[in-house]
Each structure stands twice: as structure tokens, then as C-alpha cells.
Structure 1
Amino acid sequence: MADGGPSTPQQLSQQQTQKVSDVIRSYRPAKVFRPSKQDNFVTSLDFDDQGEFMVTSGDDDIIQIFDVKAGKSTKSVPSKKYGAHLARFTHHSRQVLHASTKVDDSLRLLDLHSEGYIRYFSGHVDKVTCLALSPGSDSVISCSKDDTVAIWDLGSRHAQGKLKLSTPYLVAFDPSASVIAIASQSTSSVLLYDFRNYDKSPFSTFDLASYEERYTPSTRGRAWTRLEFSNDGKHLLVGTDYHGHFILDAFEGKLKAFLVGKNGSPGRAAPVSSTGKPFGQGDACFTLDGRYVVGGSGDHPDMLVWDLQQAPDPNHLLQPMTKLPHRGRTAIIEHNPRFNMIASADKDIFFWLPEDGSKVA
């Protein structure tokens, strides 16, 4: 099941001593988990609030739980009837919410102890494309191919509210949990709402049409794969599945940099695609301090790191500051919310640690 160096409690606890800036270049795969069948793809990764457990879903309809400190898989829960995508820990670390890929388009809340479902959340009539959990409450937002955004509370199976928008395929909470960003691919825009007044018009709209025309003309209006605020709330990442990634000022929507360096597609579909590729959740993410973006390089095995404190060139292009050697494609990626540790996946799942075992304070 696994090989590579250990991911020990000592390694993890030692990471309290240094900042990401001191260790970012030294990340290396420390653990690899291989699926029982090599034709299965991992489609989502997520960590619990404490960073001690990770949940994955895959196109084999299995939800897997990993103990980060022990560096091992601890539970597999099949969801053969309903399928599983976008598996997310709630703030209760033994509960996982996931989207369905079969039978219907409900969300399902799974209890990991009993391996039974606590609650279904029905309301979407087409595939769910993104799930975002509030950092500060049990509120959840889901986006769907049915052109709706639904707001839920985990304590009730009925939606608290809905928005009807054009292609609202990605959503993200800001770190304060007071603002939600919704990416509308077909309109090339990101809409910002006050979460307490989501039924009102957005208080700001970021128009990316001119940026797409300049940097991603062949995929304008499609192929967005990721929407994420940095932890300091200053930047907004709009990831794409081929050309690179947009870094926007989270307050004004102006382009800060376009991250280049990718060599082709990561092999994952954007939230809506007719290519037949397996789904994913984006192949780039912020580090904990918001200074770096770590991501895949398309069909090349190296992982890329962009330093947002470096000045882009006059055309706002920002090259990677370093490449991290890898032997597998990075199709999806997540940074641990507490530890200086990264998980990436395609068919195999990799745990990345700094070689010296240092961790984020």
C-alpha cells in the first residue's frame, strides 16, 4: 500500500520551528499510497480542521481516511451506490460531507464511526461542481451544473437559500467567513457576496474577460478549476487546467500576477467538461502564509512553486521560483491547514514534507 520515508509525529511536531519561506524549496515526497487498481483516479483531497486526518474520494466510489501523523490509511468506506466526489470534513472530524455522482445529485453527510449516513441534502438536479464549508460555522455552499448555488446548514436537510446564476461552478469562503466568492465561467467573472446578505446583489464583481483574452484565449469562459482565498485574505486564486493561474487582489479584483510554467493539462476536467477526463478540484493552492502558490506542471512530473512576493515581469507574468522533483503527475493538491505538509494525487497519493522535517509555526 505504501512506501517511502516515514511521516512520524516527531517530523510533524518539529515543523513548529520554521516558516514556510525557510523550507519551501526542500519539500520532497515522504510517503506514497498506491491504489489497489492502477486505473483509478483520486478526485478530491481534504484535511480536517486540526490537520491530523485527510479524506479522499475517487472514481472508484471509495472514500478513504488517512492518519497524517501516523502516515497511514485508517479507513475505507465504499459508496458504490451513490458514488463520491468532493469529500470534505465538517468541523466534526468524524463526519464527512460529499457530493453524489450516481442515482441523484444530493449531498450526503457520512458518520465515520458507524459508516452510515446522518443526513441527505436534496435540491440540486444536476451534478455538484464545488463544495465550500464555512470556516466559522456549519454552513455549506454547493454549486451545481443546474446553474444554482445552494446554502445549507448541516443540521437541516433543507436548503437555507438558493441563488440562480449563470454557470456558478466554483465557490470559496474568505478566511473571515463573511464573504463568499462565486466564479461564473461563462461570464468570465467572480462575484463577491456578503454571506449574511447573500440574497442581495453582489457587492463587487471582478471581470476577468480581458485577462482571459490576454493570458488564456483558447479556453476563455471555461476550464477554471480552482477558486481560493489566501489565509491572509489579500489574494484570490483562480486556477485553470492548462495555461496557468490568475492571482487577483481580493479587494479590488485587479490582476497581481499570472502564474506561468505549466506544460499542458493536469489530466483533470474543469468542473464541467465533455472531454471524459476524471474530475478534480484544481492543481494549485496557497501555502499557509499566503506567500506561495504550489501546483502541478501539467503533464510534467515536477511540482512548481511561485513566490507572490517576487515582482512579476511587465506583462504580469510570474515564473516559478523553484521546481520540486517528483515522479508522478500532480493532478490535485491541498496544503495541510496546520502543518507544513502538502498532499498531492493523481492515481497515487503523496505526502510531502520538508527534508529537514521543519514545520510551519
Structure 2
Amino acid sequence: MADGQPQPAAPPQPQQPLLQCQKVSDIIRSYRPTKAFRPPKDAANSNYVTSLDFDDQGDYLVASGDDDTIQVFDIKEGKSTKSVPSKKYGAHLARFTHHSRQVLHASTKVDDSLRLLDLHNEGYIRYFSGHDDKVTSLTVSPGGDSFVSCAKDNTVAVWDLGSRNAQGRLKLATPYLAAFDPSASVIAIASQSTSSVLLYDFRNYDKSPFSTFDLAPHEERFTPSTRGRAWTRLEFSNDGKNLLVGTDFHGHFLLDAFEGTVRAFLVGKAGSPGRAAPVSTTGKPLGQGDACFSPDGRYVIGGSGDHSDMLVWDTQQAPEANGVLKPMTTLSHRGRTAILEYNPRYNMIASADKEIVFWLPEDGSRSSEK
């Protein structure tokens, strides 16, 4: 492998068994860091992980970094299996298709094309050209081979993996984030400058949105100093009931996915994770937001900003009278959590900043990080 393998943060220890049957509510408080993968020893100190994604089965994790590499990890084995260099084009927003050996990613150099990588032979299957500025969001349909990209050129493009040409395009103001609902029938697009989230029938995305959620009054209330900017994440819960709008600094909006009402504002962060997601204007490393839903849709897990912990919010808890929801628990960590993803099939979490950390529920054995 051209760029070397990441080094474990501690002497290798057996990977704890992955738990698939336990309810998230039974183990959510017991997550602990169990293994960490540091950048290669010869890497520059400035190298950061910029995206994480699991495949459909939860067996593999793919990560992109600002060192222009794509890393692949075997979850069951608890080890890195591949490091693919992308020195010419760069790599960001690496996303598995429904084939665990194929990964889509955005480019950070040369042009703004999307690229479909075959992990087996480390060659590109197809380029998807059409954006005139950096891609800010890349989301694959849970129901097929369609995917959607957003970019700084104020366009949203709809693609099919089988064709290099876009199937359609929307022109909107700052549509920097997009997300499919679990049924793959609705696409949500977040427009930062207009403080709105637009919902489209994906089969008729060329029509007007069937619903628009106006977050301006809620931004005035909860995030007045960053109104119209600093949105970092857009994600539906797997039960389709909630929609998460993550922000860089103050906290996260939990919306009713049908009505657009703000169910709660998730507080507890202590500053910014230090990333420029989804748009970089200050030279900060890129990212993809620092919060996500658990697979059962009940919990939101997020970074704590400047502090070295992870926060967990229970969306079934009633918010306080002022609309804020505080974390139900804090998961101790030694480093910043700038990016995180919850495994879709196993009780396992991956987080990252400069190094990638695997989290498992504590089973009484000693963590390999301590």
C-alpha cells in the first residue's frame, strides 16, 4: 500500500466481540474506546480524517483524509486492511455504495468531479463530472443506485451509478447538505443562507418542494451568532420520524421529520470541533459534522467540541421548558471527536479527529487504549 498502514495506539489486543442483539438502550452508557489507529508515523502533523462511512452490513469502515488517502477497516477483525492513495485528485466524503468493494468520493484537487473507486483493484470505475465548485455533501440512496451531491456552485445533482452524466439538477441558494429518508422516497436539502430545509419527493425532484421547514426563528433563539451558517450535518433517523440538523458550535436541532417543528435543541457542546463542514473558508480541515443518530433512532451521539468526550442525547426525553435537551450521559475520551458514525448493524461506534477510534460497549475487559 502506497501510504503505509495506520499504527495502533497501543500494543495490539484481541478485538472484543461485536454485539448485534443487545438493545441500544441497554448498552449506550457503557461505550468505551477500545482501539485507536494513528496516522502513519511519517505523516505530517496536519493530517486529519475528514469523513467516515460504514457499508450496509456494518462489516467495513471507509475513511478519507486530508493526506489524500482512503483507508478501509475490517470491523470484525478490528484492523486496517487497505490504504488507497489519491494524491492527484484528493479525497473527501468517501461513501460506500451498496457494493462493499465500491466507494464514491469527492475530489479536493484538479477538478470537482465525483469518483467511483473499486477497492479490489484500486482503480476508478467511473467519473461523475458536472459541478463547478467543491462538493459539500454526498449521500447514497438507501433504496438503489441513485445518489445526490451538493456543491458550492449552488447546485444539487442527482446521479445514477451506471451513468457518468447527472440525471437532473436543482439550482438553489447554498444547498450544502442533503439526506435521503429511510424509504428513499424523500430527499431533504438544507439551505444555510435561507435558514430552511426543503423536502422533495425524490421521484419528482424537479417539482417544487412539498414542504419547507423555516428554522430562522429557532436560529434567532438558539444560535443567533451563527444564523445562516455553521450547519454541518443533515440526517434522518432510521425510523423516519426525526431529522437532525447539526451545527458547528452551539448544539443541534432535532426536528419532527413530518411537521418540521423543533422537538428540542441539543445542548452540551463546549465550542467547535475545529472543522470546516461543509464549506471551508478559513483553512480549517474539512469534516462531515460531529453528530449522528443511533440505528434505533432514539439517541443522538455527538462530539463535545473543544472537550475530549462524546455526548449522548435521548430523544425520548422531554426537553426542558426552554426547549433545550441536555445529554443523558457523557462517554469519556482522551481526544477530540470531530467526526463520528454509528455502525448500522453492530453495537459499535467509530470516531475520528487525527486518529480513528473504535468504541464498543464495556464488557468488563480492560480497554486497549488504557
TM-score tier (shorter): over 0.9
Consecutive unaligned residues in structure 1, runs of 5 or more: none
The CA RMSD measured in Å over matched residues stands at 1.2
Q: Give the match for residue 85 of structure 2.
A: 78
| Matching residue within 296, 299, 302 for 2:303 | 296
- SS of residue paired to 2:133: coil
| Matching residue within 2, 11, 15 for 2:8 | 2
For 2:14 and 2:287, how far apart are their aligned partners in 1?
25
- SS of residue paired to 1:300: coil
For 1:270 and 1:166, how far apart are their aligned partners in 2?
17
Matched to 1:320, the amino acid is P
Pairwise CA distance, 1:39? 2.3
For 2:277 and 2:89, how far apart are their aligned partners in 1?
21
For 1:171 and 1:6, how far apart are their aligned partners in 2?
39
Q: Give the match for residue 65 of structure 1.
A: 72
- SS of residue paired to 2:27: helix
> Structure 1 residue 31 and structure 2 residue 35: aligned?
yes
Pairwise CA distance, 1:273? 3.2
> Structure 1 residue 251 and structure 2 residue 258: aligned?
yes
Mapped contact 2:20–2:345 kept (Cα < 8 A): no
- SS of residue paired to 1:227: strand
> Structure 1 residue 88 and structure 2 residue 79: aligned?
no
Per-residue deviation, residues 321-351 of structure 1 (Å, max 9, x unmatched): 1110000100001011111110000001000
Q: Give the match for residue 4 of structure 2.
A: none
Q: Give the match for residue 23 of structure 2.
A: 19
Q: Give the match for residue 227 of structure 1.
A: 234
> Structure 1 residue 201 and structure 2 residue 208: aligned?
yes
Mapped contact 2:180–2:236 kept (Cα < 8 A): yes
> Structure 1 residue 351 and structure 2 residue 355: aligned?
no
Identical pairs, percent? 80
Q: Give the match for residue 133 of structure 2.
A: 126
Mapped contact 1:7–1:69 kept (Cα < 8 A): no
TM-score, length of structure 2 as denominator length: 0.94
| Structure 1 residue ranges, 4+ long, deviating more than 4 angstroms after superposition | 4-7
For 2:159 and 2:122, how far apart are their aligned partners in 1?
22
- SS of residue paired to 1:210: helix
Mapped contact 1:7–1:68 kept (Cα < 8 A): no
Q: Give the match for residue 367 of structure 2.
A: none
Q: Give the match for residue 262 of structure 1.
A: 269
| Matching residue within 165, 186, 193 for 1:158 | 165
For 1:108 and 1:123, how far apart are their aligned partners in 2?
12
Per-residue deviation, residues 33-89 of structure 1 (Å, max 9, x unmatched): 000123200000000111000000000000000000100000000000000000001
Consecutive unaligned residues in structure 2, runs of 5 or more: 1-6, 365-370
Matched to 2:22, the amino acid is Q
Q: Give the match for residue 291 of structure 2.
A: 284
For 2:250 and 2:63, how far apart are their aligned partners in 1?
26
Pairwise CA distance, 1:6? 4.6
Q: Give the match for residue 336 of structure 1.
A: 343
Mapped contact 1:6–1:30 kept (Cα < 8 A): no
- SS of residue paired to 2:212: strand
Q: Give the match for residue 177 of structure 1.
A: 184
Matched to 2:17, the amino acid is Q
For 1:85 and 1:111, how far apart are their aligned partners in 2?
16
Mapped contact 1:7–1:31 kept (Cα < 8 A): no
